[in-house]
Amino acid sequence: MGRLLAGDFAGVLASAARREQFLPTGKVHATLLLAAAAAAAMGMPEEKSFREQLIDGEANPTDIAACDFVSAYYGIRESESSYHAIRSAGYPKGLVDQALFGPLGVLAAARWRIDDQPFVERIEAVVERTGHARGRALLTQAAGVRAMQRGELAKAEKLVFDAIQAFGTLRLDYERAVALADHARVLAALGRAEHRQECDEAKAIAERLGAVALRNAVEQVAVAI
- With vertex at residue 169, the alpha carbon angle to CA 165 and CA 175, rounded to the nearest 5 degrees, is 65
pLDDT of residue 26: 59
> Cα 43 to the chain's mean position, in Å?
15
Secondary structure (3-state) at 44: coil
CB 63 within 8 A of CB 89: no
| Whole-model pTM over 0.75 | yes
Q: How far apart are alpha carbons 39 and 25 in whole angstroms?
A: 21
Find the Cα–Cα–Cα–Cα dihedral 6, 10, 15, 20, rounded to 10°. 150
For 66-82, give the DSSP string: HHHHHHHHHTT---HHH
Q: Print pLDDT tens along the chain (225 aa).
A: 889 988 999 999 998 887 656 555 557 888 999 999 999 999 999 999 999 999 998 999 999 999 999 999 999 999 999 999 999 999 999 999 999 999 999 999 999 999 999 999 999 999 999 999 999 999 999 999 999 999 999 999 999 999 999 999 999 999 999 999 999 999 999 998 888 899 999 999 999 999 999 999 999 887 766
DSSP 19: G
Q: How far apart are alpha carbons 43 and 47 in whole angstroms?
A: 8
Residue 193 CB-density burial (10 A; 0-12 exposed, 13-18 middle, 19+ buried): exposed
